[in-house]
Amino acid sequence: MLSTNSRKIRQDETRDGDPVIVAENLTVGYELARERQRLTALTGINLTIDRGEFVVLVGPSGCGKTTFINAVSGIVKPWEGSVAVNGKEVTGPGPDRAMVFQDYALMPWRTVEKNVRFPFELQGGGGLAKEEIDARIAHYIKLVDLDGFEHSYPYELSGGMRQRVGIARALVSEPDILLADEPFAAIDAMTREAMQAEMERIVAATGQTVVFITHSIDEAIALGDRVVVISYRPGRIKEIVPVNLPRPRFASDVKAIPEFSALREHVWELVKDEALRTSRGDTL
Amino acid sequence: MSITDRSVAKDVGTETPRLVAAETNVRTIWRRYGPWAVTILNLSTFFVVWELFARAEIVNKLFLPRASNMFTALWDGLTTTMPPGAVISGSIRDHLFYSLSNLGMGVVIAIAIGVPFGLLMGANRYVDSLLSPYVWAISSMPRIALVPLFILFLGFTRKMQVTIIVLSAVFPIMINSWAGVKTTDKSLLSAAKVFGAGRTQLYTKVVFPFTLPFIISGIQQGIGRGLVGVIIAEIFGGSKGLGYLISRSADTFNSPLLYAVLFLLVVVSLSLIQFTRWLEAKVAPWRRLETL
């Protein structure tokens, strides 16, 4: 795996992109109220993500991947260090960032259309006229292939369709950054493949910067420009693996390319020890 | 005698499609009206057996009237203003309206108190820890034990009766509202935060809609408990209402009237439950279908 290592170093030295997310020495954790304990989830994270980049975080359960995107989204505050988005330090949620959730987190009492409208209701139209907002909503519902289902309720849709609503809701305010927390984890294997292809197509169409969390190494390599492997408790960046496979990757069977299996093997080696530590319940 | 049996027996005869169509037709009719037919048959059998049993006079007719006498008493009581028996003034109808208007008033007051306090207790842990000892104390206590106290304070008045109804109905409403706020889906809350919801919006756009079906089922329970309160209050201290009729008809051995009122109570409480179910399905269709 020497070639992968050298590629990683080269990529880091020759960064010439336009940085959108900059995490510097980021340390975040939680207060466990009941045990009066502080649990460090992530520590010393230095990561720069460029505009239009698709970065995937992998690592064992509880390694702090979700904490990272929560810090970027602004719903948790750093203990040390900082996260900056577009050069400004993150102090709270903002319309330049949106998230897709593992359990979809759709409001069950709202129709598809009303769920997609939700961000506008909360943030205001951002200077858009009512017709423009309506057009925007219709556009993104169509982009995720849900036209005709505008007036359906989430309980009437399949898991894959619900997550399309989640994606449309995240895209509708046209944020710079799309944060996705294991968005396809609860979706069956076949639909999942289709959703990955959809994700690539949609992001190619909108040009968003994506931070994507997954447990699946295949999914990470198939989607990411870079795969960030995070170690277990407290979470640290173990290695950043660049993925230089041609796009669009789902036009042909990307998983059949020899380089794909080489990358998979490499990432698996990195993740394996961490996964073992998780299963043993090590805390340090 | 399934569809396939028949079509096989008939081979590829020209009549097969028509036969199949006829049979599916019978099936759809059966599926739609079958349960009703069974219920009607079931209940008629019950009343016929009752009638015959009562006619046999194995049990003293002062305790068990004939079903037909009960229905006559009920019909007369609901369609006329004739007093249903000695030393009772006002027909069943008058007493029914009295009880129902008390119940309505009591439930409305209980909603007006229970919902805001329940929501407040769910949302604010200081209010919660301040009020919850009292809420749990009174709600876990048998309300009937408080009736003499209220009679002492308020006398045998309508005010006393409504107070008892409110006290019976308010706690399920309050506790359900509280539970709705407390169990609001955490991921819905963080989604709303990510998309820019402020503190007020979290309550108006997430917590309240999430809690609404809880409030409705609280009201459903509240009506049930309220009805118990109505009867208790009227049996203990009243000169009007269905509870009063029950105790009065028992005192005067007017068993057709007593059974008529009991039967009417069943009908009333079933209709109220049905109404709140319909309301729940109307307000929160997502909840019913999700739990299926």
Can you give the pLDDT at residue A106? 92
The number of C-beta contacts closer than 8 angstroms across A and B is 62
**What tens digit of pLDDT does each residue of B216-242 get?**
989 999 999 999 999 998 888 778 889
Q: Residues A183, A272: one domain?
A: yes
User: Could you tell me which residue, B71 or A7, shows the higher pLDDT?
Assistant: B71
Residue B86 reports pLDDT greater than 90: no
Instruction: For A168-220, give the secondary structure using H, E and C.
Output: HHHHCCCCCEEEEECCCCCCCHHHHHHHHHHHHHHHHHHCCEEEEECCCHHHH
Whether A104 and A163 have beta carbons less than 8 Å apart is answered as yes
- The residue from A143, A174, A205 where one domain ends is A174
Q: Please state, as a whole number, how many other Cβ atoms lie within 10 Å of the Cβ of residue B24.
A: 11
Is residue A146 within 8 A of residue A196, CB to CB? The reply is: no
- The verdict on B284 touching A (C-beta cutoff 8 Å) is yes
CB B217, CB B176: distance < 8 Å: yes
What is the mean predicted confidence (pLDDT) over A267-273? 79
User: Which among B187, B193, B209 has CB closest to A103?
Assistant: B187
The yes-or-no verdict on residue B9 having pLDDT over 60 is no
Q: Mind giving me the DSSP string for chain B?
A: --HHHHHHHTTT-TTHHHHHHHHHHHHHHHHHHHHHHHHHHHHHHHHHHHHHHHHTTSS-TTTS--HHHHHHHHHHHHH-----STT--S-HHHHHHHHHHHHHHHHHHHHHHHHHHHHHHHH-HHHHHHHHHHHHHHHHS-GGGGHHHHHHHH-SSHHHHHHHHHHHHHHHHHHHHHHHHHT--HHHHHHHHHTT--HHHIIIIIIHHHHHHHHHHHHHHHHHHHHHHHHHHHHHS-SSSHHHHHHHHHHTT-HHHHHHHHHHHHHHHHHHHHHHHHHHHHH-HHHHHHT-
What pLDDT shows up at residue B12?
A: 45
Question: Are A159 and A261 found together in one domain?
Answer: no
Higher-pLDDT residue of A143 and A212 is A212
Q: Domain span at residue A128? A: 103-174
Answer whether residue A284 shows pLDDT above 70: no
The pTM of the whole model exceeds 0.90: no
pLDDT reading at A35 higher than 60: yes
- Asked whether residue A191 falls in the same domain as residue A249, the answer is yes
A107 and B188 within 8 Å at the Cβ level: the answer is yes
Range 199-218 of B in CB contact (< 8 A) with A? 201, 205-206, 209-210, 212
Residue contact B195–A118, C-beta within 8 A: yes
Same domain, A154 and A265: no
Whether A56 and A165 map to the same domain: the answer is no
- CA-nearest residue to A122 within chain B is B197
Q: Are residues A133 and A259 in the same domain?
A: no
Residue A2 pLDDT level (bands cut at 50, 70, 90): very low
Query: What residues in B contact A66, CB-CB < 8 Å?
Result: none
**Angle at alpha carbon of residue A59, lines to A167 and A162, rounded to 5°:** 20
**pLDDT of A142-191, one tens digit each?**
888 888 898 888 888 888 889 889 988 988 888 889 999 988 888 788 88
pLDDT greater than 70 at residue A259: yes
Q: Residues of chain A with pLDDT > 70: what percent? A: 89
Residues A91 and A186 grouped into a single domain: yes
A225-235 confidence digits (pLDDT tens): 888 888 877 78
Contact B193 A75 (CB under 8 A): yes
* A155/A197 same-domain check: no
| Alpha-helical regions (H) of A210-257 | 217-223
Total domains in the fold of chain A: 2
Q: Which of A140, A174, A208 finishes a domain?
A: A174
Check B194 against A118: CB less than 8 A apart: no
Whether B7 has a pLDDT exceeding 50, the answer reads no
Assigned token pair, B26: 């019978």
Predicted complex ipTM: 0.82
Same domain, A220 and A166: no
- Please check whether residues A70 and A41 belong to one and the same domain: yes
Q: B-chain residues within 8 Å CB-CB of A173?
A: 195
Residues of B in contact with A94 (CB under 8 A): 196
Q: What CATH number did the domain enclosing A85 receive?
A: 3.40.50.300
Residue B209: pLDDT band with limits 50, 70, 90: very high
The mean of the pLDDT values for chain B is 85
Q: How confident is the model at residue B84 (pLDDT cuts 50, 70, 90)?
A: low
Determine which of B188, B195, B202 to mutate to test the interface with A (most A C-beta atoms within 10 Å). Answer: B195
Q: Which of A145, A174, A203 is the last residue of a domain?
A: A174
Least confident of A16-20, B197-201, B211-215: A16-20
Instruction: Choose the closest CB to B286 out of A108, A169, A173.
Output: A108
* CB < 8 Å from A in window 163-192 of B: 185, 187-188, 190-192
Higher pLDDT, B83 or B75: B75
Q: Give the highest mean pLDDT range of A4-18, B142-156, B157-171, B229-243.
A: B157-171
Residue B162's pLDDT band (cuts 50, 70, 90)? very high
| Same structural domain, A260 and A151 | no
Task: Compute the average pLDDT of residues A48-52.
Answer: 87
Q: Are residues A145 and A254 in the same domain?
A: no
Look at residue B3 in the predicted model and tell me its pLDDT. 41
Task: Please tell me which of A188-202, A238-252, B88-102, B156-170 the model is most confident about, judged by mean pLDDT.
Answer: B156-170
Beginning with the edge strand found earlier in the chain, give each strand of the sheet holding A80-85 in spatial order.
A37-50, A19-32, A80-85, A88-89
Distances, alpha carbon B49 to alpha carbons A173, B52, B57, in Å: 69, 5, 13
Q: According to the model, what pLDDT value does residue A280 have?
A: 65
Q: Which residue from B190, B191, B284 is facing A109, i.e. has the nearest CB?
A: B284
Residues of A in contact with B210 (CB under 8 A): 109
Residue in B187, B194, B286 nearest the CB of A93? B194
Q: How many CB atoms lie within 10 A of CB A189?
A: 8
Span B100-104, mean pLDDT? 94
- Which residue on chain B is closest to A106 by alpha carbon? B188
Peptide bond connecting A175 to the previous residue in cis, omega within 30 degrees of 0? no
Quick one: pLDDT at residue B138?
Answer: 87
Residue A148, Cβ density class (10 Å: 0-12 exposed, 13-18 middle, ≥19 buried): exposed
**How much is the pLDDT for A93?**
86
**Residue of chain B minimizing CA distance to A111:** B286
